[in-house]
Amino acid sequence: MSHLHIPDGVIAPVWFICGYLGMAALLTLAVRQVSREEVASKIPRLGVLSAFMLLAMNIPLGFIPTHLNLTVLAAILLGPWLGVIAVFVVNLLLALVGHGGITVMGLNVLVLSSEALLGYYLFAALRQRVRLELATATATVVALTASLALMIGIVGLTQIDLLWLLQEHQHGQEAETQTAATMAPQIEGDVQESEAEGRHSQHTSLNRFVMLVVPIGMVGIVLEAIAVTLLTSFILKVRPDLIACQDRQTEKGE
Amino acid sequence: MHLADIDYLAFQGNSLWHKASALSKLFFTLVIICVVVISRELPLLLFTLALTLALLVLAGVPLRSFCHLLLYPALFASIFAFSRLGTSWVGAALVLVKSLTAATALILLITTTCIPAIFGCLRLLLPPLIADALLLTYRSFFTLLGQLGSFMTALRLKGGYAPLKIMLNLRSAAGALGVLLIHSLEASERMHRVLVLRGYRPGIIFAGKWYRPTWYDLGPVLGALVVLFGAVLV
Amino acid sequence: MNETVRVKCLRHIYPDKTEVKLCGLDFVVYPGEKVMVLGPNGSGKTTLLAHLTGLLRPVEGEVRVLGADPVKAFNTLRRRVGVVFQNVDEQIIGPTVWDDVAFALRNYGFKASQIEEMVAAILQEMGIFHLKDKIPHYLSGGEKKKVALAGAMVMRPELLIMDEPFDGLDPAAKKEIIGLLGKFNREYGTTIVMTSHDINLVPYIADSVYIISKGMILLHGNPREVFAHPEVLRQANLEPPLLVELFSALAREGLPLDIPLTLEEARLQLLQVITSTKTAI
């Protein structure tokens, strides 16, 4: 469920460029991991599951300001690497409709891909040992908690630059009204002072952010874990072959 | 869902901006996003915002129906701006205008350009597998949306939805999602058969006629040049 | 005479262990025939078609299509066999009508100019050229069906397989599809195998009919022969057309009437009976 809703233009370019580069590297890896045979058999499933994720996101969860993402479910049904591609597809479509911001899309894909990869491998490791429901719920909770932590980490890192960006704007304006040579030491002093203030306010504001996001995030994680577990056990009842033999072509007909 | 309304608007629209190729509009959007990211000049950003909003109106996009799409980023931007900057109103305004401008540019792009056309251009950058996945997601979304609509109507008719009974609604929504998921997975198996029978090879879904330039492309290209010129001047 | 299709006592087991059998009479289709497979839901119609396309491998039984085993010769046969599935929404892959109809041609590596020509030709022939730039989900049910049919017919297949082609269509759209199928059959000699549970369409589209129920091929013949066995039709949960019921009843009453296939035939027979009665009086 953890993805960033940072508006475009407020995050320093270096961060979103890093995000995009990371995303490109991850997608390249993902595409290479998917074999040619798997492409033809899995691409329709990738398409419908991405569409399903988009639809599920639009289901309102009452007054709770969060929505389902179903990343772990997608990874369980598609495998880890096609799960990463589904994350990209969904995020691109969301970013195009202005949900989440196009510049932070790279970072969002990285955060959510961590959910898909961790969720899948945990599920794969646990399902041999415990009941499917428990494996799914545990994998979802752990993966989502980790991605929430990653998101907070990213916000913490990028906000330093946001503050710097805007302070530069203020100081830039002040500097224009004064002679650079004569006033230089004073400005430098101001900047140092303000940086210290900035670090302090950044620290408190990150605390505030964490205080706000963690409780909502926890509720979101619980809801997502319930949804993913219910859906997985539903599939297990109706079409167990969809989970049990992921790599085999499944057939069903009249 | 906004995507369905946006898609319809892009499909039905007949303005000059609609007629321009996806490639030129993507170029325009890219320029605006770059200006939003790089510039810290409020007047330039305000001018860009005004320009994109004017283009949105000229393209016949009903602002009233789509303003919530602008309000969403604006809301996040305001929370961001006011929680971080304290007293600096210039900084706050900057954050707000930047996010609004970027969002307007994106909405202008997707309400005037069919989504497959945008994917058609992105295909030039993306691996074939991902380009195909984008298109199949787009096709499946509308198929599933129709099914979900029928499920929801059936739920309402059968008393599975009551505005104040949250638990009932959650249970019904979970049931509908479960059934829809199985339907989608089975549909994907049938789609797989279709792909196999029709001789599918990755990257082939698009015939790729989307980015052929036309005279209408002058609009987005000139628009982008005006904004770039403004950025250089400022 | 060469056979286009032959299926002998088929048995298939799905991964969820559902077993589908199709025994009784052999299923045989000759070149240029329009064959309709009639049966209730769950009778095995779709399973039969899936075996003809080579998508399913039978556990037991024999399937031959255009002289080959469709599973083994899948890659060569799929260029000679066109398929239209029941749910066309799942079949239309391309983002626009043009892209979708061109899909198979592009997959098989035709030249761009050839593709342009062939797509334009089939769209024009089917009267849907004006839809070429449309996005599929904005088309009506009948239009979608035609687009799916164009996607299958663009390769000029020798055999066209259609699962429930008339399902969910209004009478006008049904009539148009029937007209198009008749035209392909006449002009290109396309052999057509289709399934349906709408018995009323038989006289308008089929030369040969197979009645299947609960995994058994119960009856085979031309429409008139099949309609002469209402008890077998009922066994397969199919209600004979009203005209057939009426004329059978009248024939049992002693009137010299045959089973009519169309309204026009019925009208002429009745006129004849009435005229001869008048003359007798």
Give the 3-state secondary structure of chain A. Answer: CCCCCCCCCCCCHHHHHHHHHHHHHHHHHHHHHCCHHHHHHHHHHHHHHHHHHHHHHCCCCCCCCCCCCCHHHHHHHHCHHHHHHHHHHHHHHHHHCCCCCCCCHHHHHHHHHHHHHHHHHHHHHHCCCCCHHHHHHHHHHHHHHHHHHHHHHHHHHHHHHHHHHHHHHHHHHHHHHCCHHHHHHHHHHHHHHHHHHHHHHHHHHHHHHHHHHHHHHHHHHHHHHHHHHHHHHHHHHHCCHHHHCCCCCCCCCC
Separation in Å, CA of C135 to nearest CA in chain B: 8
Residue A182: is its pLDDT beyond 50? Answer: no
> Residue A160: what residue type?
I
Residue pLDDT, tens place only, B128-145: 889 889 989 998 998 888
Q: Is residue C42 part of a domain?
A: yes
**Chain B CB contacts of A90 below 8 Å:** 137
Q: Is residue C90 part of a domain?
A: no
Identify from C12, C13, C16 which residue to disrupt to test chain A contact, counting A C-beta atoms within 10 A and taking the largest count.
Answer: C16
Handedness of CA B18, B20, B22, B24 (dihedral sign): negative
Kindly determine whether residue C95 and residue B138, on different chains, have CB atoms separated by under 8 Å: yes
Nearest one of B55, B9, B5 to B29, comparing CA atoms: B55
Taking the CA of residue A118 and the nearest CA in chain B, the distance in Å comes to: 21
Q: What is the pLDDT of residue A42?
A: 86
C-alpha separations of B140 from A182, A232, B135, B234, C94 in Å: 65, 21, 9, 46, 11
Q: Which residue has the higher pLDDT, B204 or C70?
A: C70
| Residues C253 and C235: beta-carbon distance below 8 Å | no
- Cα separation of C73 and C88, whole Å? 25
**Inter-chain CB proximity A48 and B185 less than 8 Å:** yes
C73 in the same domain as C1 = yes
Q: Which residues pair with B139 in a beta bridge?
A: none
Q: Is C226 on the interface with A (CB under 8 A)?
A: no
Average pLDDT of chain A to the nearest whole number: 75
Chosen from A64, A88, A96 to mutate, greatest number of chain B CBs within 10 A = A96
Query: Is the minimum CB–CB distance between A170 and chain B shorter than 8 Å?
Result: yes
Q: Is A238 in the C-facing interface, judged by CB distances under 8 Å?
A: no
Residue of A nearest to C93 (CA): A44
Across the interface, which of C14, C41, C42 has its CB nearest the CB of A251?
C14
- To the nearest whole angstrom, how far is the Cα of A57 from the nearest Cα of chain B? 10
Q: How would you write the pLDDT of chain C (281 residues) with one tens digit per residue?
A: 589 999 998 888 887 778 888 888 899 999 999 999 998 888 888 889 999 998 888 998 899 999 999 999 888 888 899 999 888 888 888 888 998 999 888 888 889 899 999 999 999 999 999 999 888 888 998 999 999 999 999 999 999 999 999 988 888 999 999 999 999 999 999 999 999 888 888 988 999 999 999 888 999 999 989 988 888 898 888 888 888 888 888 888 888 888 888 888 899 999 988 888 777 76
Closest Cβ–Cβ partner in B7, B8, B195 for C93: B195
Phi and psi angles of residue A131, each rounded to the nearest 5 degrees, phi first: -65, 150
pLDDT class of A3 with cuts at 50, 70, 90 = low
Contact partners, residue C269, CB within 8 Å, separation at least 6: C247, C257, C258, C260
ipTM: 0.87
Which ranges of C63-214 does DSSP label H, i.e. alpha helix?
74-77, 97-107, 112-125, 141-153, 171-188, 202-205
Q: What count of CB pairs under 8 Å joins A to C? A: 28
User: Residue A46: its chain B contacts at CB < 8 A?
Assistant: 133, 136-137
pLDDT of residue C29: 95
Q: Where are the beta strands (DSSP E) in B3-79?
A: none
* Residue A249 predicted with pLDDT over 50: no
Distance from the A129 Cα atom to the nearest Cα atom in chain B, whole angstroms? 25
In a domain, C132, yes or no: no
Substitution target in B204, B209, B211 with the highest count of C β-carbons within 10 Å is B204
What residue in B sits closest to C83 (Cα-Cα)? B197
Q: What is the pLDDT of residues B65-77, one digit of tens each?
A: 777 777 777 777 7
Give me the DSSP letters along B165-223: -HHHHHHHHHHHHHHHHHHHHHHHHHHHHHHHHTT--TT-S----TT---GGGHHHHHH
Average the pLDDT over each of A53-57, B201-205, C125-129 and give the range with the smallest value. B201-205
Residue C96 lies in a domain: no
CA dist C124 and C121 (Å) reads 5
pLDDT of residue B119: 87
pLDDT band at B80, cuts 50/70/90?
Answer: low
C21–chain A Cβ distance below 8 A for any pair: no
Model pLDDT, residue A191: 41
Look at residues B45, B134, B67, C240 and name the one whose alpha carbon lies nearest to residue A27.
Answer: B134
A254·C14 Cβ contact <8 A: no
Q: What is the CATH number of the domain that holds C69?
A: 3.40.50.300
pLDDT tens by residue, C154-187: 999 999 999 999 988 888 999 999 999 999 999 9
Question: Which residues of chain B are within 8 Å of residue A31 when distances are taken between CB atoms?
Answer: 127, 129-130
Our CA-based measurement puts residue B131 at a distance from the nearest CA of chain C, in whole angstroms, of: 12
Minimum-distance CB partner of B190 among C90, C104, C115: C90
- Tell me, what's the pLDDT at A190? 43
Residue A176: both structure tokens together: 């224009």
Tell me whether residues C45 and A239 touch, CB distance under 8 A. no
Q: Report angle CA B103, B41, A201 to the nearest 5 degrees.
A: 80
How far is Cα C127 from Cα C107, in angstroms, rounded to an integer? 24
pLDDT, residue C193, reads 96
Q: Where are the domains of chain A?
A: 13-244
Domain range for C194 is 1-79+190-240
Compute, in degrees rounded to 10, the torsion defined by CA atoms A33, A38, A42, A43: 70
Give the count of domains, chain C: 2
Q: Is A180 on the interface with B (CB under 8 A)?
A: no
Three-state SS for C253? coil
Comparing C-alpha atoms, which of C105, B101, B20 is closest to residue A10? B101
**Residue A50 pLDDT > 90:** yes
| Residues of chain A found within 8 Å of residue C41, distances taken between Cβ atoms | 254
Of C15, C44, C45, the CB nearest to A251: C15
What backbone phi and psi angles, to 5 degrees, belong to A63?
-90, 0
The reply to whether C16 and C58 lie within a common domain is: yes
Query: Which residues in B lie closer than 8 A to residue A250 (C-beta atoms)?
Result: 189
Contacts of B141 in chain A (CB under 8 A): 51, 54-55
- A171 vs B: CB within 8 A: no
Check A169 against B90: CB less than 8 A apart: yes
Residues C60 and C5 in one domain: yes
CATH code of domain A13-244: 1.10.1760.20
Average pLDDT, chain C: 89
Q: Residue ranges per domain, chain B?
A: 2-121+210-233, 127-197
**pLDDT score recorded for residue C263:** 87
In this structure, is residue C167 part of a structural domain? no
Partners of chain B (3+ Cβ pairs below 8 A): A, C
